[in-house]
Amino acid sequence: MNIAFTTILLFIILAPGFIARSAYNSSKLSVNDTNKNIVNELTWSIIPSLTLHTLFIGIVHNLSSYFIDFQLLGNLILGVTTSNKAEESFKQLGDFKYEIFSYNLILFTFSFFIGYGFREIIRYFAIDRRVRYFRFTNKWHYIFTGECLDFKDVPDKYEEITDKIINVLCKVNGKSILYTGEFFNYYIDSKGDLEAVHLRNPIRRELDKDDAKVKDYYVIASRYLVIPNTDIININFRYFSLEEVVEPTEEEKGNAITLDETKSVD
C-alpha cells in the first residue's frame, strides 16, 4: 500500500487534536510561529486526538447502528499489502464514504469549538494568571495589559487598573528621546519578539533634561504614535488606579452649611 495514503490517514486521525490546539492558540494571546514544525505539532496532538476519538466512537456505538471496524483501520494504517485484504479494506471505505465523511466533519467542527471554548474558560476564570502552566506564550500581553499584576507574589491587582501610561526611551538621530503616552496597542513578530509600541496622545522630551517641566515637553501633532522596536532602548510601565470624585452641588453645599448652623445653635 502506498505510504502516502498511510501518512494522510494518520494525519486525519490526529487532525482533531491539531484543530483543537490551533483554535486554542488562535488569539493574540499566543505566539503563532509560521515556521513551526508540523510533525512536532501533530505529536502534541496525539493525546487530545485519542481523547476526542474515544468520545465520538463511544457516541457512535451507543447511539447508532454503525460501529468502527478497528481491523480495517489497522490494515490501512499498517499498510497491509495482501491483495484481498487491501481490496476488502478499500471496498468498505467506498461503501461507507458518506458516513465516514460525516463522522470526521462533525468531529473536526466539535474539536474547533472545544479548543476555542477551553481558551475562553481559561480566560474567564483567569486561570492563566494564577497558574503558570496555563499561561499563554505571548508574554507581552500580560505586561502591556497589566495582567501580570495577578501573578503569584505580586501585591497589586489587575482589576484595580484604570489607566496605563508608558514611557518609551528611544535613540533618535543620536539623541535620547523620551516618549510618554497612554497605552493603545502593541505588535509582535512570529517569534513573539516586540515589533512596535502604539501610544495614544503622545508627548516627548529630550532625556538630558532631567529637571524637565511641562514646557520642555513637545506635544506631538498626532493622536496616535507607533514606535518601532528598532528605536527603543527600554520601556517603563505605569499602572494607575484612579477613583472618580463627585463634587457636591451648590444646593448640597448649602444644605451642609444649614445643618452646621443648626447644630451650633443647639
pLDDT digits (tens, 9 = 90+) for 68-108: 776 777 766 666 656 556 666 667 777 778 888 888 899 99
| pLDDT score of 85 | 63
| pLDDT score of 100 | 82
Q: Where in the chain are the domains?
A: 3-130, 153-240
| pLDDT score of 266 | 41
Tell me the pLDDT tens digit for each residue of 218-266.
Answer: 888 888 999 999 999 999 998 888 766 666 666 655 555 554 444 443 4
* Unique residue bearing C-alpha cell 494568571: 129
Say what the pTM is: 0.74
Mean pLDDT of 65-69: 76
CA distance to 9, 80, 89, 209, per residue, from 2 (Å): 11, 10, 14, 73
Range with the poorest average pLDDT among 53-67, 165-179, 198-212, 245-259: 245-259
CATH code given to domain 153-240? 2.30.30.100
Residue 141 buriedness (CB in 10 A; 0-12 / 13-18 / 19+) = buried
Range with the poorest average pLDDT among 85-94, 107-116, 172-181: 85-94
Please say whether the beta carbons of 205 and 177 come within 8 A: yes
- Give me the long-range contacts of 176-183 (CB less than 8 A, separation at least 24): 176/206, 176/207, 176/208, 176/233, 177/204, 177/205, 177/206, 177/207, 178/204, 178/205, 178/206, 178/207, 179/203, 179/204, 179/225, 179/227, 180/204, 180/217, 181/225, 183/144
**Greatest mean pLDDT among 3-7, 67-71, 145-149, 212-216:** 145-149
DSSP 8-state code for residue 126? T
CA distance to 15, 58, 66, per residue, from 37 (Å): 15, 32, 36
